[in-house]
Structure formats: structure tokens, C-alpha cells
């Protein structure tokens, strides 16, 4: 993989900027935009960006910080799901807490925002409490968004319970957008200042990148990633007016800035920020080392998002405006649905195989294909073919022993699941065979080299195959066609 981003430089200058902001206050509430762990979107569009870089930075400040997680009561009630992991927001919160604690971070609590006495939310609160996780409930803020006097009063933020914190840096994170992070920060700043604490707010930003052009592929990839939220990048008018400098932000931050500035001014009796861009700490744009590599990676990501939303539309998970918005972004960049190298080969292989489901994968510069067989799903065959190619094992050499496969197939039949092996079962069989077969062991040793490979399926990959390909960090796109056999 070609590198286009200097991760070491990013860690250095982003950390410095956070520490500078930290010094302005006795206590800083830092809203962490995007994912605290495993920022796979950034890693895909900025090759060289390490997906765990955020949490790695904060490890230096571990003794001085604690974490508050937010989740909207409405998202719990709707069982909102993290698409890339296939788990609900409430389960993601528990996963984030456990991961943070395992890394030695202090987790303060979970804030349930916009609470309306939902039964499912009450059950979740009980679950958290029974696992020793402190919870706080925030309801809709009276007066929001227009009546600042009411918002910044005992009827507004004062009606929320004060969250007891002991560290000078408070990270506020959530499983996804719309979880109430900003409102939680502002509520706490109100309470802190009432107690005589000089508390402030800042935002750890990644996208959009303020010092890249409005229509830069990196910023357009952010629009594609948030197409379901109707986010639109725009020039920050407040920043332009104050400094005469063009800076890129997005519509929600720009629209809410006048309200936010009024609230912060009333809470702390001083103005610190002149624009929404001022609030963010974002040094990503200074760390791009190869513009062409980053632009190419961003274009590919936009196409992946297009296929993903086309699939979501087919499954009833989004409306057509979402994928049409991404198609417009593709048109702006003069790219189409076949932009990824794996798409045409997959479709051509399907045609050659008389309509059988196929997956094509690009390994280095080689296209590897796998089709549905009586024995395996396309995911199983393409991964097996790919690691054989990487291991320089001829196609006519069989790695899976019938004595290993037969009991697996028999068990599947007995359970009424047919006898076609999925990718996980293929890899399990290969692992068993590797004990006695050196070629199988050699092939299996190359499995991690599939990371970051592009793959395209001629059908919507679901279930265990989809998860297994994600676990291997393969960038999968799918045609919007169901295959009921898989």
C-alpha cells in the first residue's frame, strides 16, 4: 500500500495543539468527533493514518483524563446499528467502555440524552448499573435552541444532574452522531462555572479538513460517509469574516455556531472562539505527504460508500436520496460505478460462469476471483485462491483434506444448514489441515496480507461471510442483488 499520510507528524502536532487548548482552562471538555477507537474511514482515505491514533495520543495524558460516553435514548429505542460492525449503539457503548478500561483509561459514566421514559432505555440503564457503570439522564433542554437565557439557567442546563468529575481533561465520546455529546459538554460547563471552575469546550476534529479545498476528495469522502445525515461541507463564513481566511466546516456546526457562541459567552462571561473552525483541533491537513495517493484513496472510498448505500436502499435501510447524493459527488469527481479495479472482473466472471455468484479481489496488481461451488461460498473460494496465490501454490493443489471437511459438512446437514462451507468454516478447516500439511500452513500464514485489499461481489454478501471479510480488513463492495442461497 502506498503511503500518503505522515502519522508520526500528525501525532506530534495534534498532541501539541490539544495541550495548548488544555492550558486555557482549569478543566477542558473535549468532544471527540468520529471514532475514538478504530477510525477505519480515516485509515482508508489517508493511507498511513493509523486507525488507533486517537486513543494512542490520549495514552500520554491518561493520568489526567476521564471519559464520558453519550447515547441518545431514541437510538436505544430504535436499536440503531453501527453499520461497519453490525452491532447496536447500546452494545457498542459497552464495548467502548470495556476497551477503554482494558487500556487503563478511567471511564466516568454514560449519559443517556433526550430521555423520554422509554421502557427499553430503562432496561439498558439497569444493565449498565448492574455492571457497575454509573449513568446520568438528560432530558430535552428547555428553551433550546433560541432562548439562551432559559438554556443557561436552572430550568435549562441546570435541570440536568451534574456529573462529578475529578480529572482536568474530560473526553466526551459516543457510538455515533446525534448522541448528545455537545449538549453534555455545555451542560457540564454550566455546572462547573456555577461551582467556580474555569471549564471550557473544544472539539477533536478529523473531518472535514478545514485547510483543504471545499471540493477536495478527502472532504467529499466525508460528505459521502455522512450522506444519510444530509451533511454538507461549506466555507465557514464566521472564520472568513474574522480572519479573511477560507476554512472548511460543515453545515450543522456552522448553523449552530451563533447559538453555541452565545451559550458559551453567557456561561463563562467571555468569548474564546470566533468561528466553528476555531473550536476544533484538527491538524490532519498539515500531515498529507502524498496528495495523489490520498486523492485516489478518497475517490475509491466514495465509490465504496455508493455501493454500500445502494445495498442499504435495497434492504430498506435508507431512502434513495442517500445514494443519489453520493452519485452526485462521484459526478463532481468524474468517476463512475466501475472506478474500483475489481468491479468489471467480478461482473465478467459472473457472466462467464453463467450467472453464478462471484467475488473478485485485487492482490497487489493481480485480480483473483472465486465463485460459488457445491463445497464453498464465493467468500471462501476467493480467500482460499488469494492466499494460494500469495503462497505461490498452484491452483490444482488441494489444501483441504476430505477427512476434515466431511464431519463439518455432516454437522451442517444435520443442523439443516446445507453443506456449503462459509469463509469462517473454510479457514477453520484450513487451520486444522495446517497441523499436518505444510502447504496449508504456508497459505494460512499469508492470511493477514489480505488486509486493505479491495473486493467486489456480484451479490449482497450477508451474515458470517460479511463479518469474516470485515475481520480480515478487506474492503468489500457488493452489487445490489440478493442471493437467497447464501
pLDDT for the residue numbered 82: 67
pLDDT for the residue numbered 176: 85
pLDDT for the residue numbered 486: 60
**pLDDT level of residue 84 (50, 70, 90 thresholds):** low
pLDDT for the residue numbered 229: 86
Rounded percentage of the chain residues whose pLDDT exceeds 70: 99
Task: Identify any residues that bridge with 437 across adjacent strands, giving them in sequence order.
Answer: none
267, pLDDT greater than 70: yes
31-61: per-residue pLDDT in tens? 998 888 889 999 999 999 999 999 999 998 8
- CA angle in degrees (0–180, nearest 5) for 450-456-462: 90
What are the DSSP calls for 131-162, one per residue? TT--EEE--PPTTTTT-HHHHTSTTTGGGSPP
pLDDT for the residue numbered 17: 93
Q: Between 358 and 146, where is the model more confident?
A: 358
pLDDT for the residue numbered 295: 98
* 105-117: b (≥16 Cβ within 10 Å) or e: bbbbbbbbbbbee
**pLDDT level of residue 483 (50, 70, 90 thresholds):** confident
Three-class DSSP category at 169 = strand
What is the chain's alpha carbon radius of gyration, rounded to the nearest angstrom?
25
pLDDT for the residue numbered 348: 97
pTM of the predicted model as reported, rounded to 2 decimal places: 0.93
395-427: per-residue pLDDT in tens? 889 999 988 988 888 888 888 888 899 999 999
How far apart CA 229 and CA 83 sit, in angstroms, is: 14
pLDDT for the residue numbered 86: 66
71, pLDDT greater than 90: yes
**pLDDT level of residue 85 (50, 70, 90 thresholds):** low
Alpha helices in 340-437 (DSSP H): 343-352, 378-390, 402-414, 423-433
pLDDT for the residue numbered 127: 95
> 236 and 254 in contact (C-beta within 8 Å)?
yes
Rounded percentage of the chain residues whose pLDDT exceeds 90: 83
Number of H helices, E strands in the chain: 20, 15
How far apart CA 203 and CA 321 sit, in angstroms, is: 29
**pLDDT level of residue 460 (50, 70, 90 thresholds):** very high
200, pLDDT greater than 80: yes
Name the DSSP letter for residue 105: P
Mean pLDDT over 237-251 rounds to 96
Q: Which domains does the chain have, with CATH numbers?
A: 7-214+230-287 (3.10.630.10), 340-478 (3.40.140.40)
How far apart CA 211 and CA 480 sit, in angstroms, is: 36
378-401: per-residue pLDDT in tens? 999 999 999 999 999 998 899 999
pLDDT for the residue numbered 317: 85
pLDDT for the residue numbered 83: 61
271-312: per-residue pLDDT in tens? 889 999 999 999 999 999 999 999 999 999 999 999 999 999
pLDDT for the residue numbered 35: 86
Beta-strand relationship, 199-204 and 27-32: parallel
Amino acid at each position: 500500500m502506498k503511503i500518503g499520510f505522515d502519522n508520526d507528524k500528525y501525532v506530534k502536532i495534534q498532541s501539541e495543539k490539544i495541550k495548548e487548548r488544555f492550558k486555557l482552562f482549569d478543566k477542558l471538555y473535549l468532544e471527540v468527533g468520529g471514532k475514538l477507537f478504530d477510525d477505519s474511514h480515516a485509515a482508508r482515505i489517508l493511507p498511513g493514518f493509523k486507525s488507533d491514533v486517537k486513543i494512542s495520543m490520549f495514552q500520554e495524558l491518561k493520568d489526567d483524563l476521564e471519559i464520558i460516553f453519550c447515547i441518545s435514548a431514541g437510538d436505544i429505542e430504535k436499536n440503531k446499528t453501527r453499520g461497519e460492525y453490525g452491532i447496536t449503539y447500546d452494545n457498542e457503548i459497552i464495548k467502548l467502555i470495556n476497551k477503554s478500561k482494558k487500556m487503563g483509561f478511567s471511564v466516568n459514566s454514560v449519559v443517556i440524552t433526550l430521555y423520554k421514559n422509554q421502557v427499553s432505555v430503562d432496561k439498558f440503564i439497569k444493565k449498565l448499573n448492574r455492571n457497575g457503570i454509573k449513568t446520568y439522564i438528560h432530558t430535552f433542554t428547555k428553551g433550546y435552541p433560541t432562548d439562551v437565557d432559559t438554556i443557561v439557567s436552572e430550568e435549562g442546563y441546570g435541570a440536568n444532574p451534574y456529573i462529578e468529575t475529578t480529572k482536568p481533561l474530560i473526553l466526551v465520546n459516543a457510538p455515533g452522531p446525534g448522541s448528545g455529546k455537545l449538549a453534555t459538554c455545555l451542560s457540564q460547563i454550566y455546572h462547573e462555572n456555577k461551582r467556580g471552575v474555569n471549564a471550557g469546550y473544544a472539539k477533536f476534529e478529523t473531518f472535514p479538513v478545514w485547510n483543504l479545498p471545499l471540493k477536495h476528495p478527502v472532504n467529499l469522502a466525508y460528505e459521502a460517509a455522512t450522506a444519510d445525515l444530509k451533511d454538507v461541507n461549506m466555507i465557514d463564513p464566521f472564520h472568513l469574516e474574522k480572519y479573511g481566511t477560507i476554512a472548511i466546516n460543515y453545515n450543522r456546526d456552522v448553523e449552530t455556531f451563533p447559538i453555541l457562541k452565545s451559550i458559551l459567552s453567557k456561561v463563562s462571561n467571555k468569548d474564546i472562539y470566533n468561528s466553528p473552525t476555531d473550536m476544533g483541533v484538527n491538524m490532519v491537513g498539515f500531515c498529507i505527504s502524498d496528495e495523489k495517493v490520498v486523492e485516489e484513496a478518497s475517490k475509491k472510498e466514495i465509490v465504496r460508500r455508493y455501493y454500500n448505500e445502494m445495498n442499504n436502499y435495497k434492504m430498506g435501510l435508507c431512502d434513495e436520496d442517500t445514494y443519489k447524493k453520493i452519485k452526485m459527488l462521484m459526478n463532481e469527481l468524474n468517476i463512475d460505478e466501475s472506478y474500483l479495479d475489481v468491479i468489471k472482473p467480478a461482473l465478467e466472471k459472473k457472466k462467464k460462469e453463467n450467472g453464478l455468484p462471484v467475488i473478485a479481489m485485487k492482490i497487489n496488481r493481480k485480480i483473483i476471483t472465486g465463485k460459488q461451488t457445491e463445497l464453498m461460498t464465493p467468500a471462501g473460494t476467493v480467500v482460499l485462491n488469494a492466499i494460494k496465490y500469495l503462497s505461490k501454490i498452484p491452483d490444482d493443489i488441494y489444501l483441504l483434506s476430505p477427512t476434515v471437511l466431511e464431519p463439518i459438512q455432516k454437522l451442517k446437514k444435520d443442523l439443516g444448514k446445507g453443506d456449503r462451507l462459509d469463509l469462517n468454516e473454510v479457514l477453520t478447516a484450513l487451520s486444522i489441515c495446517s497441523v499436518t500439511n505444510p502447504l496449508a500452513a504456508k497459505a494460512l500464514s499469508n492470511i493477514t496480507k489480505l488486509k486493505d485489499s479491495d473486493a467486489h461481489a456480484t451479490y449482497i454478501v450477508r451474515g458470517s461471510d460479511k463479518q469474516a471479510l470485515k475481520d480480515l480488513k478487506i474492503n468489500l463492495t457488493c452489487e445490489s442483488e440478493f442471493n437467497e442461497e447464501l
